[in-house]
A and B are shown apart, each in its own frame.
Chain A
Amino acid sequence: MGVVRTPTNLTQGSGTRGGVGESTLRPDGTLKVTGEFAYASDMWHDDMLWGFTLRSPHAHARILSIDTAQALRTPGVHAVMTHDDLRFETRYGLEYQDTPVLADAVVRHHGEPVALVAADHPETARRAAAKIKVDYEPLPLVIDEETATAPDAPLLHPHRDDHHKDHVPHPNIVHRQPIVRGDVEAAKARADVIVTGEYEVGMQDQAFLGPESGLAVPAEDGGVDLYIATQWLHADLRQIAPVLGLPEEKVRMTLSGVGGAFGGREDLSMQVHACLLALHTGKPVKIVYNRFESFFGHVHRHPAKLHYEHGATRDGRITHMKCRIVLDGGAYASSSPAVVGNASSLSVGPYVIDNVEIEALALYTNNPPCGAMRGFGAVQACFAYEAQMDRLAAELDMDPVGFRQINAMSQGAVMPTGQVVDSPAPVAELLRRVKAMPMPPERQWLCAGSGADVRALPGGLSNTTHGEGVVRGVGYAVGIKNVGFSEGFDDYSTARVRLEVINGEPVAVVHTAMAEVGQGGVTVHAQIARTELGVTQVTIHPADTQVGSAGSTSASRQTYVTGGAVKHTCEAVRERVLELGRAKFGSYHPAWATAELLLEGGKVVTDAGEVLTGLVDVLEGECVDVEREWRHRPTQAFDLVTGQGDGHVQYSFAAHRAVVEVDTELGLVKVVELACAQDVGKQLNPLSVVGQIQGATTQGLGLAVMEEIVVSEEAKVRNPSFTDYLIPTILDTPTIPVDVLELADEHAPYGLRGVGEAPTLSSTPAVVAAIRAATGLPLGRVPVRPEHLTGT
């Protein structure tokens, strides 16, 4: 591992064990290794019913009739509900309210929810749903840009009333964001080489392991208690309550255990359905998707088609860039508008290019709805611009890393949006570090005396080669991702912190609505409380809607924003504690009035280290309890014509070097090593930081060589299972050495920089660059399949 630089001004609270900067272990670790941690699908209630969702077999069809009589007569069935049973709001959505709770006259994608069943056994519910007779009349399909924007194209949302409807060039375009800066034509005239390329990214799935689940319990006051796995409790609440016709305070949500998310739990899945069935039947209702249904139950990463043009001068300087990015948003908007904003504003990559013409847009089609997934619009662009960088370097006969370093942005650079990058942007340094890592030895699969260990070769235990036809390649990539919600969104979080004495010891209780989805926010919140309040004992209160919103666990933002809220609230608690101390003890020691005071090791100490008194003595009989909101610096919307605006609050950078070995005869790829260097500003928990980087890297590997939801020409999902949708196993995943750089962002709490997404970006293009290096093939599409390598 490389040298880790730590800003010296961030070590406050070092007198308290388990604070910021230490690899403290997860507070939920013991429960998770003993099987006692209660995930959403583990919820259970006396007298509970099981819900099941009937889904459309068609991608676009009119519903002529629905006959539920036979299903209702099935013994054990308590309720069947359709659109006709909805009495209040009938649609929801993250950005546009365009998604029907249950299909209303038309289904717009394969797997759209049509009816609900509640029964006393999950199999009874499933079988009853199969008895619901739905008469469909298939409608013409919209499946790509050509069919979506044809003059006679069927309009998927003819009555759309969202805030983007008036500026899009066609009603089947969800949102379009151009960015123009500089003079592309003049710059192009100066270019010695021009490289154009067409790229395509397949539809990736989040494939979190814990399927969508939840338990809704009707309450005596007419409301409902919902135990749920989600990424953002309050965004769910805002969408659920109107459908139930209830005020938000009567929909009480508690976060249950969440088995991963990666963007796939940002939209509602079964939340409203379980609540509707619970209120309808008066009984608790649990819904648990199986893996098949999970593939239909959440949005996916947008598949994309990208056209890029770059020019450069002989000395390796990029003159200009033009690009057009077309994202398939599927049947409903989900977070497509924000994904468009990201794709356009980050389309240039971490490079200084003064002259750009950029256009990104998302389509409405009858394909599966797409929305948030780790990397959020920046992944697709990174695959394309990094391929372009390699091609430019080859045209100029330059080293691909050296070429990137010439054009790499650094602090003070101007983005195509006009935004000045006002914190460290060590792009060239990350490339240098990842290139400087030792290379894995050649032919590691050779065994002394006994041939080859096939487990280390392409094809693995299929025993397809013992090294014949195997060629090694090395590739590099670097990417840029925004951190936090952008484009003027009021991105705040809330924390409530209570400090009191329990059994003679000061104890802090931290209460937020942050969705812990595995990332380790609960670990970090306790560390922040220890550092700020100087206590050892910290209790993390379960996340629920009894405290203000924490915003979403996405956009690499939770440590920044909810971590910031916890820090800010702890500071307020500390001030109250010191006020109490001054009132009680101020007359005994002048330092109470004159010195800067800290809380460390359970004591009030001066900045010179003198102990004034114990926290227990200050708090005796008192409980300090504070709730505060905290928000990062405001951002601006992008101008709809020029794309100009300070749209992002922070940028995050990671670089990868991939080493692959390819069986060139069979087209099989073995990723031998995937090294990563990333700047994280400040590591609040080094063990968790490395875990995020390695996990993100592996999802990028999956997109590079295996992961794709295959959608047929009839817009139907062909592979909704882990048999047919492959994610990397431990045999597919290489060693992932990580070099963490810490260059503080002075605007962020503790100097931190969001970690979770940037490595997902650069991993994919690095792997594909390595495959290109091994094979000499252009490879403009991911995932790369064997047939792309063998031409068969």
Chain B
Amino acid sequence: MRVTFTVNGRRQEADDVWEGESLLYLLRERLGLPGSKNACEQGECGSCTVRLDGAPVCACLVAAGQVEGREVVTVEGLADHSRERSEGGRTTGARGTSLDEARTWQAGPTGVGPGSHAADSLTGGGTELSPIQQAFIDAGAVQCGFCTPGLLVTADELLERNASPSDADIREALSGNLCRCTGYETILDAVRLAAARGGTAKAGEGA
């Protein structure tokens, strides 16, 4: 069958798709978008999480044919997605709050003030990243990185609907994404960091 849908803002067409194929296979093997990962292929690990018409889903559990005419955002499109969102009224706030400040940051009305800049990464200069992507690097939330794409999509969606999540909110939102390397502490740090930086950026907007 033929499947036509929008991926990361671009219309895509795939021919000769077998009825049993998943959205994950379609993305990885037919469209050259291997960022969504294949850790369990049964909806338990979250490493293949993508946005389907805005909702976070496991791409391995979505049949390819189900995405006909719909919109998908993958980790490869996260920076663009974030920029488009910010152009709708928010700044990305990718820098501006140090990790130490973020660790002491609390949810609620008492956001942190403008802080020192995060350490230079000595890496990756020139690539535009979304705030959550930059925060994962800065917080040390990436080790092997296989869970990272799914966690980024999930965490980005959390921050989109809840700009000031508590630790319990973060844990609940990310509970469908397994990580075997980090023990999750640096992942919590990263989400707090992205939230704190977003909070800093929005402080002047009265958000």
- A and B, one complex? yes
Q: Which residue of chain B has its CB nearest to the CB of A729?
A: B175
Q: Which residue of chain B has its CB nearest to the CB of A210?
A: B146
- Cβ contacts under 8 Å, A25 to chain B: 119, 121-123, 137-138, 140
> In the complex, A526→B122 CA distance in Å?
10
Q: State which of B62-70, B73-81, B83-91, B108-116 sits at the interface with chain A.
A: B73-81
From B20, B119, B133, B140, name the one whose CB has the most chain A CB atoms within 10 angstroms: B140
Q: Are A730 and B127 in contact (CB under 8 A)?
A: no
Q: Which residue of chain A has its CB nearest to the CB of B173?
A: A730
Q: Are B142 and A29 in contact (CB under 8 A)?
A: yes
Closest beta carbon of chain B to A519's beta carbon, Å = 7
- Cβ contacts under 8 Å, B180 to chain A: 206-209, 260, 262, 695, 699, 727
A209 with B146, Cβ < 8 A, contacts A34-B76, A34-B79, A730-B177 known = yes
Report if A423 contacts B (CB, 8 A): no
Q: Which residue of chain A has its CB nearest to the CB of B124?
A: A30
> In the complex, A258→B181 CA distance in Å?
12
Q: Are B148 and A33 in contact (CB under 8 A)?
A: yes
Report if A418 contacts B (CB, 8 A): no
- Cβ contacts under 8 Å, B176 to chain A: 729
- Cβ contacts under 8 Å, A33 to chain B: 75, 129, 133-134, 136-137, 142, 145, 148-149, 152
> In the complex, A258→B138 CA distance in Å?
21
A34 with B38, Cβ < 8 A, contacts A18-B122, A259-B145, A730-B177 known = no
Report if A23 contacts B (CB, 8 A): yes
- Cβ contacts under 8 Å, B137 to chain A: 25-26, 29-30, 33
The digit string for B35-68, where 1 denotes a CB below 8 A from any CB of A, is 1111111101101000000000000000000000
A519 with B143, Cβ < 8 A, contacts A32-B148, A722-B40 known = yes
Report if A204 contacts B (CB, 8 A): no
Report if B107 contacts A (CB, 8 A): no
- Cβ contacts under 8 Å, B170 to chain A: 730
Q: Are B42 and A35 in contact (CB under 8 A)?
A: no
Report if B172 contacts A (CB, 8 A): yes
Report if B147 contacts A (CB, 8 A): yes
> In the complex, A731→B176 CA distance in Å?
9
A698 with B183, Cβ < 8 A, contacts A35-B76, A211-B39 known = yes
Per the 8 Å Cβ criterion, residues 147-191 of B in contact with A are: 147-149, 152, 168, 170-172, 174-188
- Cβ contacts under 8 Å, A688 to chain B: 140
Q: Are B74 and A35 in contact (CB under 8 A)?
A: yes
- Cβ contacts under 8 Å, B181 to chain A: 260, 518, 691, 695
Q: Are A30 and B129 in contact (CB under 8 A)?
A: yes
- Cβ contacts under 8 Å, B134 to chain A: 33
> In the complex, A24→B172 CA distance in Å?
30
Q: Are A209 and B129 in contact (CB under 8 A)?
A: no
Q: Are A721 and B42 in contact (CB under 8 A)?
A: yes
Q: Are A35 and B144 in contact (CB under 8 A)?
A: no
Q: Are B177 and A35 in contact (CB under 8 A)?
A: no
Interface size grouping (class) on chain B = 35 or more
- Cβ contacts under 8 Å, B74 to chain A: 35
> In the complex, A456→B171 CA distance in Å?
10
Q: Which residue of chain B has its CB nearest to the CB of A30?
A: B124
Per DSSP, are chain A's interface residues mostly helix, strand or loop, or mixed?
A: loop
> In the complex, A211→B178 CA distance in Å?
14
Report if B33 contacts A (CB, 8 A): yes
- Cβ contacts under 8 Å, A39 to chain B: 34, 37, 146
Q: Which residue of chain B has its CB nearest to the CB of A291?
A: B40
- Cβ contacts under 8 Å, B168 to chain A: 453, 455-456
Closest beta carbon of chain A to B82's beta carbon, Å = 12
> In the complex, A520→B175 CA distance in Å?
25
> In the complex, A714→B44 CA distance in Å?
27
A260 with B144, Cβ < 8 A, contacts A34-B75, A455-B168, A723-B44 known = yes
A41 with B175, Cβ < 8 A, contacts A33-B129, A518-B145 known = no
> In the complex, A36→B74 CA distance in Å?
12
- Cβ contacts under 8 Å, A741 to chain B: none
From B34, B121, B181, name the one whose CB has the most chain A CB atoms within 10 angstroms: B181
Q: Are A259 and B35 in contact (CB under 8 A)?
A: no
- Which of B29, B34, B39, B152 contacts A209, CB < 8 Å? B39
Report if A288 contacts B (CB, 8 A): yes
Closest beta carbon of chain A to B140's beta carbon, Å = 4
Q: Are B175 and A259 in contact (CB under 8 A)?
A: no
Report if A366 contacts B (CB, 8 A): no
Q: Are A731 and B146 in contact (CB under 8 A)?
A: no
A35-B74, A259-B37 given. 4 additional CB < 8 A pairs?
Answer: A518-B144, A518-B181, A690-B185, A698-B183
30 contacts between A and B (CB under 8 A): A25-B119, A26-B123, A30-B137, A33-B75, A33-B129, A33-B136, A33-B145, A34-B76, A34-B78, A34-B129, A37-B145, A209-B39, A209-B147, A209-B178, A210-B37, A260-B181, A291-B41, A291-B42, A291-B45, A455-B171, A455-B172, A517-B144, A520-B143, A688-B140, A690-B185, A694-B183, A698-B183, A722-B40, A730-B177, A733-B183
3 tightest A-B CB contacts, nearest first: A35-B35, A518-B144, A30-B124
